[in-house]
Amino acid sequence: MKARIVDRAHLLRIVDQLRQDGYQVIAPVRGRGRDTYYDVVTDHNRDRIEIHLPNPQYPPKRYVFPHIERLFDVRKENGEVRIEPAYYGPKRALFGIRSCDLAGIWHLDRFYLGRDYRDPYYESRRQNLLLINVVCTDPERDIADDCFCVCTDTGPAARDHFDLQLMDLGDEFMVVAGSPAGEARLSDPIFRKCTAAHVEKRRAILTEVRKRFKTMTSWFAATVRYVSQGKILDRTWEEIGNRCLECGGCTYVCPACTCFTVTDRRVGPNEIERVRIWDSCALGGFTRMAGGHNPRKAVHDRRNRRFFRKLAHYFIQRELSMACVGCGRCAAVCHGDVGMPSVVEMIRRATAETDKLPPT
């Protein structure tokens, strides 16, 4: 990987260059209060881009997998039925994506493109997308109370799956290329050589930042084992289910959730469109069948499905990563306090209670 250094004052030149090259650039900005969000960069908001700010509650996942996506139109014209697929793949750059969300996109890549069937809709959005990752280095602004990427090995500095990675070293940034497309952007004269002292500074900053995480789920690996072996007691799932209000919030903010449903809607007198829409295992309709039967009617039956899907060895082997990247958003939005770190803790406590004492 090629590394370069750029002055802080020149950092947004990367955004300007991308826009000049025809990219639609998406970057994090601050709204009112604590709100932060990703937005399309324009001449008006370009100076509001912030590198250090709380990670937006909505992950940038929607730029590869939108909430609602048109798949095709069906139109009746002069007695003939025409079907037109609706692919959309703009030339886009996601500037300032955090390491957890980058891991989320890689998980989606594996799910939608990593096996025999490649999803053409996902692929059309993904193939023209440039990912510019930012390392979280400011504990006060970057790291929320619920962040735990250090436990899922997805941050604070991503090791791969980015085109460019930016890391704040103080007055200057280290810029690392992770792909040929990223490396090509380092030809700009604003970049200069990286020295051993820069590398040492990077290491020292990361060592310090890792100590500043407040949520540490050291039981994560054991939870993966217990979930994979089906050793979680029914009463633990019931306890989790009893606390879930079935709002779907945890799945809608999750950068690694992949589920969707498909439906048709009328858009004109002789025209319908087929769309896919994010779905959530928290919602009763997720498993309801056409005749009305629901094999997972009880909420805890759908909650255990969520954690099995995210943590079971079978899926980790298939996607090459857990479907949890440690962003902490589910913990932040859940009214019932059954986000991932709490569930891991509930499983730890329940498992400790059922431990057999050695015979005396």
Which residues make up the interface to ligand SF4 (CB under 6 A)?
244-250, 253-256, 282, 310, 324-330, 333-336, 338-340
Residue 89 vs 248, nearer CB to ligand SF4:
248
- Contacts of residues 139-145 at CB distance under 8 Å and 24 or more positions apart, as own/partner, are 139/209, 139/212, 141/52, 141/53, 141/54, 142/52, 142/53, 142/54, 142/55, 142/98, 143/209, 143/212, 143/213, 143/214, 144/54, 144/55, 144/328, 144/332, 145/214, 145/215, 145/328, 145/332
CB of residue 196 to ligand SF4, shortest distance in Å: 35
Residue 311 contacts residue 303 (beta carbons within 8 Å): no
C-beta of 79: minimal distance to ligand SF4 in Å? 47
Q: Give the residue with the Cβ less far from ligand SF4, 108 or 325.
A: 325
In sequence order, the 6+-apart residues with CB closer than 8 A to the CB of 210 are: 150, 156
Q: Which is nearer to ligand SF4, 182 or 249 (CB)?
A: 249
We find the least distance from the C-beta atom of residue 247 to ligand SF4, in angstroms, to be: 4
How far apart are the C-alpha atoms of 256 and 252, rounded to whole Å?
A: 10
Of the two residues 272 and 333, which places its CB atom closer to ligand SF4 in the complex?
Answer: 333
Token pair 């999803």 is found at 119
Query: Which of 178, 241 has the CB closer to ligand SF4?
Result: 241
Give 130 or 322: the residue with its C-beta nearer to ligand SF4: 322
The CA distances from residue 268 to 74, 77, 265, in Å, are 10, 12, 9
Q: Closest separation between CB of residue 333 and ligand SF4, Å? A: 5
* Least distance in angstroms from the C-beta of 245 to ligand SF4: 4
- Cβ of residue 303: shortest distance to ligand SF4, in angstroms? 7
